């Protein structure tokens, strides 16, 4: 019998922490999980799930307009924000219940309180001290605001899902995936939306063509994008007065900061226990997710590696199997697909053109921009961008990138192909499904300069 109360105590019941706890319990470990907020973490409560529900809602205005090109005569449409939020909250509550049942059904003890690390094997929870052979930090990330006058007057993605009413005008600061997603949501719901970004193109960590093209498409849908600007101050008022670099002052009814996230590790007592943290609070771990203290491990956004829910889940399973089984599972960070639920959406897997060149590949590019079949009758000016990055020497496809409707659904399948090392010749030999947007990826024949 172990000298400890548990074999594993997980701090944080987000997607990664829950999966690690359940997987470990399934392998016979005695497991407890501590969570002070909500089960499911960011993804379920203030991230992936509610964001996509809001994205669905924001598409309907265009859908109603597009229907007229197909012979429909819809009546006057009216949108009600409180109804959407109430329905969203009901679904999130249901998912919280699902997570609780899954944990309890796996034999995991749920501790609904703030947890701090006392030493390498001790956690203090709600005044009690519990010990474990291993401690797993899975506390995720948290939105950050810039240090400017009036920053407290703005809101982040956390609060965006609970606004009592939609602002008539919204100003969003940032140009990453959260910024473009919420700019698209607000714009689609009828809010006069301005996006302010310090760089000269959106999505600067993605393939350059994606950010440039998405910016053009969002602008054509009515989002006002101000490049090369940043926020200096916010002054209270009705409306708010927002000062930008260069002295421009904009009036708006709501300011949203989408200026990044930081690991949610402060106040956990990790430094006291000897755990080394990066400057931004990330737990520094090795390839096996072990911190500077051998009994303390960390996964997901708390490590500030790949900030994606499926990655945190995979990391959790790797840790559980290494600690309580044969440890044969290995996580490969190459060719991780992802999507951005902007309007239009973005899907990408593999290397960007710039990354491929930086790694020394001789690159051949295939790219196309076209009007999807749907919009030949709607008259909408929306376009699709599709791009392949190919290794000139081996013909292996290094990257698949897309901006267009259902990009995530399309890229998921091509992610399997890249994982298998598919070549351009094999793409060319694949019969397309006609007529679909996805078939364009297997019919691209002419390389671009």
Mean pLDDT value across residues 17-23? 98
Res 149 pLDDT > 80? yes
| Percentage above 70 pLDDT, the chain | 100
- Reply yes or no on whether the pLDDT at 248 is more than 70: yes
The predicted structure's pLDDT at residue 295: 98
What is the set of active-site residues?
434
Task: Compute the average pLDDT of residues 128-143.
Answer: 97
The two three-digit tokens of residue 352, written as one number: 């960007």
> According to the model, what pLDDT value does residue 172 have?
98
According to DSSP, residue 300 is labeled: G
Domain annotation for the chain: domains and CATH numbers: 6-143+262-324 (3.50.50.60), 151-259 (3.50.50.60), 338-442 (3.30.390.30)
Does residue 327 have a pLDDT over 90? Answer: no
Residue in this structure with the two tokens 């890249």, named with its chain if needed:
418
| Of 127-141, 322-336, 342-356, 426-440, the least confident | 322-336
178 vs 164: CA distance, rounded Å: 20
C-alpha span between 29 and 344 (Å, rounded) = 45
Nearest to 386 by CA among 216, 210, 201, 221: 210
In percent, how much of the chain has pLDDT > 90?
96
Tell me what the pLDDT averaged over the chain comes to: 97
Q: Output the pLDDT for position 237.
A: 86
Categorize the per-residue pLDDT at 68 as very low, low, confident or very high, splitting at 50, 70 and 90.
Answer: very high
> Three-class SS of residue 42?
helix
Per-residue pLDDT, 302: 98
Find the mean pLDDT for residues 72-91.
Answer: 95
Residue 1 has pLDDT above 90, yes or no: no
pLDDT surpassing 90 at residue 2:
no
What per-residue confidence (pLDDT) applies to 328?
Answer: 77
Is 53:88 a contact under the CB 8 Å cutoff? yes
- pLDDT at residue 272, rounded to an integer: 93
Which tens digit of pLDDT belongs to each residue from 39-52?
Answer: 999 999 999 999 99
Averaged pLDDT for residues 241-254:
96
Tell me the mean pLDDT in the region 288-294.
97
Contact 311, 15 (CB under 8 A): no
Please identify which residue in the block is written with the tokens 């401690």.
135
Q: Does pLDDT of 21 surpass 50? A: yes
- Give the pLDDT of residue 373: 97
How high is the pLDDT of residue 449? 84
Report, as an integer, the average pLDDT of 288-292. Answer: 97
Give the span between the Cα atoms of 418 and 350, in whole angstroms: 7
pLDDT per residue as tens digits for the range 181-226: 999 999 999 999 999 999 999 999 999 999 999 999 999 999 999 9
Report helix angle 81-105 to 48-67, nearest 10.
140
**Helices vs. strands in the chain: H and E counts, helices first:** 12, 21
Written as six digits, the tokens of 62 are 């265009």
pLDDT at 236 over 90: yes
């Amino acid at each position: 019998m172990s000298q400890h109360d548990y074999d594993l105590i997980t701090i944080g019941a987000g997607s990664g922490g829950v999966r690690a706890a359940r997987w470990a319990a399934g392998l016979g470990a005695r497991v407890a999980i501590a969570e002070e907020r909500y089960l499911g973490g960011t993804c379920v409560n203030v991230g992936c799930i509610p964001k996509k529900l809001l994205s669905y809602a924001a598409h309907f205005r265009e859908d109603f307009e597009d229907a007229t090109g197909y012979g429909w005569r819809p009546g006057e449409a009216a949108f009600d924000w409180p109804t959407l939020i109430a329905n969203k909250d009901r679904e999130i509550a249901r998912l919280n219940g699902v997570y609780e049942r899954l944990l309890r059904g796996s034999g995991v003890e749920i501790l609904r309180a703030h947890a701090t690390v006392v030493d390498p094997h001790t956690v203090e929870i709600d005044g009690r001290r519990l010990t474990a052979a291993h401690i797993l930090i899975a506390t995720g990330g948290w939105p950050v605001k810039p240090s400017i006058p009036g920053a407290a007057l703005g809101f982040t993605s956390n609060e965006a899902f609970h606004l009592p009413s939609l602002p008539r005008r919204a100003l969003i600061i940032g140009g990453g995936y959260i910024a473009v997603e919420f700019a698209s949501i607000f714009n689609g719901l009828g809010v006069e939306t301005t996006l302010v970004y310090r760089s000269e193109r959106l999505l600067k960590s993605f393939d350059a063509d994606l950010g440039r093209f998405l910016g053009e498409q969002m602008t054509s849908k009515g989002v006002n994008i101000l490049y090369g600007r940043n926020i200096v101050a916010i002054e209270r008022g009705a409306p708010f007065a927002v000062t930008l670099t260069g002295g421009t002052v904009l009036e708006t009814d709501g300011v949203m900061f989408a200026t990044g996230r930081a690991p949610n590790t402060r106040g956990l007592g990790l430094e006291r226990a000897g755990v080394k943290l990066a400057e931004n609070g990330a737990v520094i771990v090795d390839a096996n997710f072990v911190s500077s203290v051998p009994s303390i491990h960390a996964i997901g956004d708390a490590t500030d590696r790949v900030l994606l829910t499926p990655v945190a889940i995979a990391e959790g399973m790797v840790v559980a199997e290494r600690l309580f089984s044969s440890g044969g599972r290995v996580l490969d960070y190459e060719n991780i697909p992802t999507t951005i639920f902007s309007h239009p959406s973005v899907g990408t897997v593999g290397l960007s053109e710039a990354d491929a060149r930086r790694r020394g590949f001789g690159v051949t590019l295939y790219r196309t921009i076209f009007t999807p079949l749907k919009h030949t009758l709607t008259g909408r000016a929306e376009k699709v961008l599709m791009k392949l990055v190919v290794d000139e020497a081996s013909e292996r496809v290094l990257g698949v990138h897309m901006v267009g409707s259902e990009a995530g659904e399309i890229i998921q399948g091509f992610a399997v192909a890249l994982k298998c090392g598919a070549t351009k010749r094999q793409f060319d030999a694949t019969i397309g499904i006609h007529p679909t947007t996805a078939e364009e990826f297997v019919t691209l024949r002419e390389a671009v300069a």
